Amino acid sequence: MPNKETISIIVPCYNEQEVLPVFYTKVKKVLNTMDVDYEILLVNDGSKDGTLDCMRELSKKDERVVYLSFSRNFGKESAMYAGFCNATGDYVAVMDADLQDPPSLLPQMIDILRSGEYDSVATRRVSRAGEPHIRSWFARQFYKLINKISDADIVDGARDFRLMKRPMVDAIVEMCEYNRFSKGIFGWIGFRTKWLPFENVERVAGETKWNFWGLLKYAIDGIINFSQAPLSLASWFGLGMTVFSFTMLLVVFFRKLIFGDPVAGWASTVCVIIFIGGIQMFCLGIIGQYLAKTYMEVKKRPHYIIAESNRNTNKIK
């Protein structure tokens, strides 16, 4: 009998002690109905609650549970990357621990991949029920903007929950940039992706780790990681100001020559100086953002450090 195909489920966890056991039971139930072998890769992203104990217990009970525990909180992006680097399956999925990514979609997803037409099946929320309106509005604007100014194809409402075939996972592992923005990376590497829409599900227990400022920062990071448009914004601003001020200079010069009109207005001059100063600082700030990213990139610091695991793995990557 040929060996069964394997699927690896990557689960980034940060303070998820309340939901992890529920998640495990639900996912296991679904996986058992599918004709696959599986491993569940739990990544503990420096949780401060009992998440790690919970992982140890699960891995003792079930040999298919692998856990990687970080030395501190490195963020969901690093947790996902650690998962990708350590997943051994022919198929790999990323899922949130809070059951906002319905495990019941998995059988359908794997069927689509097996039919051979696609390399990955991704999910997107078609509603944002249960989310503050202002957050939804900003999210929609973000997706509109980033699709206009970058070549990473990012779908509105896309979640990180997707099932991929091995070649795609290998491509992701190869993308070893320090500043990671997975939604952009998935789009950038290409491959044939099918989108599955689903209704938003609220988290079963525990709390979201995102507040408004955190999300705004994430959005700005996404734009900077995948677009150089803000940089050219600075050049266009500069060019515009130069043309405008040169024209004004000519106007003032000829007015003086023809009408002998002295230019009055100390206040207006100061306003103009401050205005230009403001724009200069703004553009410098944009350059600073890119420089900061480049700085972190050239340092080549590891993405994560694993302090404990039940699998023999690269501790630092």
Residue among 152 and 158 whose Cβ is closer to ligand UDP: 158
* Contact of 41 with 126, CB cutoff 8 Å: no
Based on CB atoms, which residue is closest to Mg ion, 96 or 119?
A: 96
User: At its nearest, how many Å lie between Mg ion and the CB of residue 217?
Assistant: 18
Indicate which of Mg ion, ligand UDP, none lies near residue 65 (CB less than 5 to 8 Å, by partner kind): none
120 has which bridge partners?
Answer: 164, 193
Contacts of ligand UDP in 193-212 (CB under 6 A): 203, 208-210
Binding site partner of 157, from Mg ion, ligand UDP, none, Cβ cut-off 5-8 A by kind: none
Binding of Mg ion by 101 (CB under 5 A): no
Q: For residue 265, what are the contacts with CB-CB under 8 A and spacing of at least 6?
A: none
Can you read off the two tokens belonging to residue 93? 């999925």
Instruction: Kindly state the smallest distance separating residue 45's Cβ from ligand UDP, in Å.
Output: 4
Of the pair 159, 165, the CB lying nearest ligand UDP is at: 159
**Are 19 and 203 spatial neighbours (Cβ–Cβ below 8 Å)?**
yes
User: Phi then psi for 34, rounded to 5 degrees?
Assistant: -95, 155
Burial state string for 128-157 with b = 16 or more CB within 10 A and e = fewer than 16: beeeeeeeeeebeebbeebbeebebebbeb
Cβ(135)–Cβ(212) below 8 Å = yes
Task: Tell me the closest approach of the beta carbon of residue 99 to Mg ion, in angstroms.
Answer: 9
Question: 155: which 2 tokens?
Answer: 């779908």
Residue 163: name its binding partner from ligand UDP, Mg ion, none (Cβ under 5 to 8 Å by kind): none
CA dist 75 and 94 (Å) reads 15
Binders of ligand UDP in range 65-124 (CB under 6 A): 73, 75-76, 79, 96-98, 100
Cα separation, 289 vs 64, whole angstroms: 42
Q: Which does residue 66 bind out of ligand UDP, Mg ion, none, counting CB within 5 to 8 angstroms by kind? A: none
Residues numbered 209 to 228 that lie near ligand UDP (CB under 6 A) are 209-210
Q: Determine which residue in the list 98, 101, 119, 160 makes contact with Mg ion, applying CB under 5 A.
A: 98
Expressed in percent and rounded to 5, the helix, strand and coil fractions of the chain are 50, 15, 30
Q: Residue 141 binds what, of Mg ion, ligand UDP, none (CB under 5 to 8 Å, by partner type)?
A: none
Report the nearest approach of ligand UDP to the CB of residue 144 (Å). Answer: 19
Q: Where do contacts with ligand UDP occur on this chain (CB under 6 A)?
A: 12-14, 16, 45, 73, 75-76, 79, 96-98, 100, 203, 208-210
Q: Where do contacts with Mg ion occur on this chain (CB under 5 A)?
A: 96, 98, 100, 203
